[in-house]
Copies of this chain bind each other. A is one copy, B any other.
Amino acid sequence: MKKKIAILGASGYTGAELVRLIATHPHMQIVALSGDRKAGMAMAEVFPFLRHLNLPALVRIEEIDFSHVDLAFCALPHATSQAVIANLPRDLPVVDLSADFRLRDVAEYQKWYGKPHAAPDLQKDAVYGLTEFYRDEIRTARLVAGTGCNAAAGQYALRPLIEAGVIDLDSILIDLKAGVSGAGRSLKENLLHAELSEGTMAYAAGGTHRHLGEFDQEFTRAAGRPVLVQFTPHLLPMNRGILASVYVNGEPAQVHATLAARYALEPFLEVLPMGLLPSTRDIRGSNFVHLGVIADRIPGRALVIAVLDNLCKGSSGQAIQNANLMLGLEETAGLMLAPVFP
């Protein structure tokens, strides 16, 4: 019998991506969809690409009877999530895709998100959802906090290197290229086609991007000492995809070997042969991560590049992977869809 799934906040891109993936998931079935401003509308109106599916209409959260729900995905905006999840039944497994439960220290949350944490008691139970590094905790968690999409890309490139101690910790630099869907379906001038296509620019530069909170937390934990990285994201004229160019001081062959060994058994992480570099086109629409390593001409310096689809592995795909673990399903169930190219 299929697991009954509710998606809260189904009218945004990550909500729609959850529906897309669950559409062919063998063990999940959508029983409720919420979308406050669009309550009453059919999903086919909000997202015509889902027209072929037989889906419940969008309702307001308070209209959902959670007693028949096995797991809820919460794809609401930051800050909203804390309040909503605080009101859900305490035994309902929840995968949250917002930033609200990513930072263990609520003071860090306030620092990066500019307001006090609204559910500090729930925060204590939240598990950080980078599956490959928190698999056991996720399996038994009640609340899993999905990672930032950029934060995921950077960590896939760096965590094994930090844990293994094969790179210098004080000169890590992440130059990241991000597709536009990461900004959501929000009406902002800089997201218009006429403003965005055929060009690029940096944003949230200078160490101000909120995903730095996750890097700080996770790299410091992995290293056992404070680690601060440089991180500059750039907005690219592409809808899906993140490419993180990660510059490290370390022996390139050792860097490559460390990543290859760490991810050898991971179903979604592919480490390319030494010297080959990945493209975002090769993971689009999928839950896969491709990683490449190349030595610089300057000895002792290496470039690691990680690519993933921000909406899938960076968000909704990760969420389903975690939900599979929480529900006792096969971890890869519903997620082996091949990338879409071209």
* Contact, CB under 8 Å: A280 / B201: yes
CB-CB under 8 A from A237, the residues of chain B are: 193, 197-198, 236-238
Per the 8 Å Cβ criterion, residues 13-55 of A in contact with B are 13, 16, 19-21, 23-24, 47-53
Binds B, one of A126-134, A142-150, A184-192, A253-261: A184-192
Cβ distance A75 to chain B, nearest Cβ, rounded Å: 15
- A23 to B180 alpha-carbon distance, docked (Å): 28
Cβ contacts A271-305/B at 8 Å (1 or 0 each): 01001011111111110101000111110010101
CB-CB under 8 A from A197, the residues of chain B are: 193, 197-198, 237-239, 342
Per the 8 Å Cβ criterion, residues 92-111 of A in contact with B are none
Per the 8 Å Cβ criterion, residues 200-243 of A in contact with B are 200-203, 205-208, 212, 228, 230, 232, 234, 236-241, 243
- Contacts A48-B278, A192-B187, A194-B13; is A200 near B338 (CB within 8 Å)? no
Whether, in the assembled complex, A122 has its beta carbon less than 8 Å from a beta carbon of chain B, the answer is no
Question: Which of A24, A173, A198 gathers the greatest number of chain B CB atoms within 10 Å?
Answer: A198
CB-CB under 8 A from A230, the residues of chain B are: 247, 296, 298, 301
* Contact, CB under 8 Å: A206 / B337: no
- A52 to B291 alpha-carbon distance, docked (Å): 12
- A281 to B191 alpha-carbon distance, docked (Å): 13
* Contact, CB under 8 Å: B173 / A194: no
- A336 to B282 alpha-carbon distance, docked (Å): 22
* Contact, CB under 8 Å: B208 / A297: yes
Whether, in the assembled complex, A116 has its beta carbon less than 8 Å from a beta carbon of chain B, the answer is no
Whether, in the assembled complex, A195 has its beta carbon less than 8 Å from a beta carbon of chain B, the answer is yes
Whether, in the assembled complex, A81 has its beta carbon less than 8 Å from a beta carbon of chain B, the answer is no
Whether, in the assembled complex, A80 has its beta carbon less than 8 Å from a beta carbon of chain B, the answer is no
Whether, in the assembled complex, A324 has its beta carbon less than 8 Å from a beta carbon of chain B, the answer is no
Per the 8 Å Cβ criterion, residues 160-189 of A in contact with B are 171, 173, 175, 177, 179-181, 185, 187-189
* Contact, CB under 8 Å: B49 / A199: no
Q: Which residue of the partner chain, among B185, B199, B297, contacts A281 with CB atoms under 8 Å? A: B199
CB-CB under 8 A from A268, the residues of chain B are: 52
- A232 to B251 alpha-carbon distance, docked (Å): 18
Question: Which of A16, A177, A230, A338 gathers the greatest number of chain B CB atoms within 10 Å?
Answer: A338
Whether, in the assembled complex, A56 has its beta carbon less than 8 Å from a beta carbon of chain B, the answer is no
CB-CB under 8 A from A318, the residues of chain B are: none
- Contacts A194-B342, A198-B284, A338-B49; is A207 near B279 (CB within 8 Å)? no
CB-CB under 8 A from A270, the residues of chain B are: 51-52
Whether, in the assembled complex, A196 has its beta carbon less than 8 Å from a beta carbon of chain B, the answer is yes
* Contact, CB under 8 Å: B236 / A200: yes
Q: Which 6 pairs from chain A and chain B are nearest by CB? A: A207-B297, A199-B281, A201-B279, A194-B342, A49-B282, A187-B187
